[in-house]
């Protein structure tokens, strides 16, 4: 199975954690060199590679006299501003002599929230790949406001895998993979080689980060693997501190933990609605409308809407809930909150009479709707970032 999955990979996203490529003293040039050597080998074999690299904060914080994690957001942003150019230079110094160009791509959650900017980012990445340039992505830490952060690069790497429709997400961390318990605290913890599905039992194994540099620990890596799996990509967590792991993976050796892709791949646009776009409000439905959506695959019409919250605009994402407030789906609304306030509960033929115009009969078209059962339980719990 592992061999079959790897044999079908053409395009992969490699996420590199801060703990892998930095020490307390800043960037670890030797480690970056070792990873770039493997990346070079894979590129020569014809793979397309997108890097998502952390390490800007770790690379810049020493200049500000910071030991451990930056104590405030402005200091973290300042450290990232100093460190990001160093991070890029470190990759360039390794990859340029091997004949590869690199390109810096800094993203915020807001960039991917907006469908036009999302598609624009996608076009840029695709153009870079066509020209055999290696995109190196990081969160734009310097400008991003707290509410609009991806939060961690594990999450960003999963969104990138969806953005470029990669077949594989490799997460390089400072551990050999997912253990049945946090190996930092339990020396007898056992490594899992393959995970078919991320069940609550698997989630219970993941702990937070123990390091001064990492964000999220295994918890965010499992969420990333879950998200990647829904867009048809496998995920492998590998130890990036050990030399040659990427090549050993592609040689079919049982390194790291492999998470299989989900059988029913979600279309990239639906994945974006479900996980990338941030909901701006919520709608509450009566039982008939809830059934029409969840059991009959219908679009949402104004008649079954009994309540709403939030100041959403036409084109924003909303949570769609039942009478009790349980989330049933997410979708893109065709009407703004003030328009919907006037037409909810009414028949579709009333829309034009009330508003004087109409954009369509549907408040949310079924093509713009993702049912919650298609997201997983784990996803529902990961809404800290969505």
Ligand X SMILES: N[C@@H](CCC(=O)OP(=O)(O)O)C(=O)O
| Residues at the interface with ligand X (CB under 6 A) | 17-19, 54-58, 80, 138-139, 141, 152-153, 213-216
Phi-psi region of 65 (alpha: psi -120 to 50; beta: other; left: phi over 0): left
Query: Min. distance of Cβ 218 from ligand ADP in angstroms?
Result: 4
- Candidates 144, 175, 305, 371: give the one binding ligand ADP (CB under 6 A): 175
How do strand 101-107 and strand 168-173 relate by DSSP bridges? unpaired
Annotation-wise, does 384 bind a ligand?
no
**Region from 99-107, 159-167, 178-186, 372-380 binding ligand ADP, contact rule CB under 6 A:** 178-186
Residue 22: half-sphere exposure toward Cβ, Cα within 13 Å: 29
Strand 168-173 to 234-239 pairing: parallel
344 labelled ligand-binding: no
Q: Which of 43, 207, 268, 366 binds ligand ADP (CB under 6 A)?
A: 207
- Residue 127 annotated as binding? no
DSSP code for 301: P
80 contacts which partner out of ligand ADP, ligand X, none, CB within 5 to 8 A by kind?
ligand X
Q: Which of 60, 70, 135, 214 binds ligand ADP (CB under 6 A)?
A: 214
Among 210, 247, 306, 355, binds ligand ADP (CB under 6 A): 210
**Do residues 26 and 15 make contact, with C-beta atoms less than 8 angstroms apart?**
no
| Cβ pair 320, 300 in contact under 8 A | yes
For 23-65, give the secondary structure using H, E and C. Answer: ECCEECHHHHHHHHHHHHHHHHCCCEEEEEECCHHHHHHHHHC
184 touching ligand ADP, by CB under 6 A = yes
Write out the binding residues for ligand ADP, residues 16-55 only, by CB under 6 A. Answer: 17-20
Work out what residue 139 binds among ligand ADP, ligand X, none; the CB cut-off runs from 5 to 8 Å by kind: ligand X
Query: Hey, is 173 helix, strand or coil?
Result: strand
Q: Give the C-alpha separation, 257 to 169, whole Å.
A: 12
Q: What's the closest the beta carbon of residue 181 comes to ligand ADP, in angstroms?
A: 6
Residues near ligand ADP (CB under 6 A) = 17-20, 173-175, 178-179, 181-184, 205-207, 209-211, 213-218
């Amino acid at each position: 199975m592992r061999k079959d999955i790897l044999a079908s990979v053409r395009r992969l996203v490699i996420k590199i954690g801060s703990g892998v490529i930095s020490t307390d003293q800043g960037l670890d040039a030797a480690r970056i060199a070792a990873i770039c050597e493997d990346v070079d080998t894979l590129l020569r074999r014809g793979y397309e590679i997108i890097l998502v690299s952390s390490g800007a904060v770790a690379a810049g914080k020493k200049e500000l006299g910071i030991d451990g994690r930056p104590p405030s957001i402005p200091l973290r942003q300042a450290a990232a501003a100093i460190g990001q150019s160093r991070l890029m230079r470190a990759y360039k110094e390794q990859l340029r002599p091997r004949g590869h160009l690199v390109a810096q791509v800094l993203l915020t959650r807001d960039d991917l929230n907006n469908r036009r900017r999302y598609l624009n980012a996608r076009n840029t990445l695709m153009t870079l790949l066509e020209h055999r340039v290696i995109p190196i992505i990081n969160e734009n830490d310097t400008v991003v406001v707290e509410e609009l952060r991806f939060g961690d690069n594990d999450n960003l790497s999963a969104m990138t895998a969806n953005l470029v429709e990669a077949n594989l997400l490799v997460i390089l961390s400072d551990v050999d993979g997912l253990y049945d318990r946090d190996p930092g605290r339990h020396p007898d913890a056992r490594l899992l080689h393959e995970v078919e599905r991320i069940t609550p039992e698997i989630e219970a194994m993941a702990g937070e980060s123990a390091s001064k540099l990492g964000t999220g620990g295994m918890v965010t890596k499992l969420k990333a693997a879950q998200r990647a799996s829904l867009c048809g990509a496998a995920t492998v967590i590998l130890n990036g501190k050990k030399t040659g792991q990427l090549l050993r993976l592609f040689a079919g050796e049982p390194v790291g933990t492999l998470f299989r892709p989900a059988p029913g791949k979600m279309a990239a646009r639906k994945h974006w609605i479900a996980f990338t776009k941030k909901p701006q409000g919520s709608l509450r439905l009566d039982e008939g409308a809830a059934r029409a959506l969840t059991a009959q695959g219908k679009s949402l019409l104004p008649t079954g809407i009994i309540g709403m919250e939030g100041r959403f605009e036409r084109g924003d994402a909303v949570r769609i809930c039942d009478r009790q407030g349980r989330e049933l789906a997410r979708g893109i609304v065709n009407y703004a909150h003030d328009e919907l306030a006037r037409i909810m509960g009414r028949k579709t033929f009333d829309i034009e009479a009330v508003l004087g115009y109409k954009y369509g009969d549907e408040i949310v078209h079924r093509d713009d709707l993702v049912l919650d059962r298609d997201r997983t339980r784990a996803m529902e719990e990961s809404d800290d970032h969505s």
